[in-house]
Amino acid sequence: MAESNGDWVRVRGIGRERFAGYLTEYLGTLGYTVERTETTEPPETRLRAKLERMNPAVPPSAGSLEFRFYPTSGGAALVWTAPTEVPVPDRSRMDRLVREVLAHLERVVHSESHAVAKVVRPAESHLPWLVATKPADPAA
């Protein structure tokens, strides 16, 4: 199911609003200003982040980020929607940024929930720039 929805990561044991709050707070520490939008139909939370304070750890292609959170049975899913392309020179820095964000989410969810909730990574990463560069599946 995660593959068809383009999920980057899922969480069990907490809701999408709280999960979105954790990402919002972390992006703020990196120098982003974050605009958060909630909708009820469909039930989702959208984050748009713009880098306002220079940070050498953030590649130029990550100057604007977008995410979508939606509820799942027992938790929430996070879809990384933008950027959709990352130039080759930025890839290693973007990979590091992705790993740092994911590690932060895992730590905060684990500690804030008293180890009741957990972050679940899908079998395959569904980051837009990685999906776009995969070769076409001949069986499809």
Tokens of residue 118, six digits: 């957990």
Print pLDDT tens along the chain (140 aa): 334 467 888 899 888 899 999 999 999 999 999 999 999 888 999 999 999 998 888 899 999 999 999 998 889 999 999 988 888 888 888 999 999 999 999 999 988 767 788 888 877 767 877 755 554 444 44
pTM attached to this predicted model: 0.83
Tell whether 139 is covered by a domain. no
Tell whether 39 is covered by a domain. yes
CATH number of the domain bearing residue 32 = 3.30.310
Tell whether 121 is covered by a domain. yes
Specify the number of domains making up the chain.
1
Place of tokens 């939370």: 45
Tell whether 60 is covered by a domain. yes
Plot region of 16 (φ>0 → left; ψ -120 to 50 → alpha; else → beta) = alpha
Tell whether 51 is covered by a domain. yes
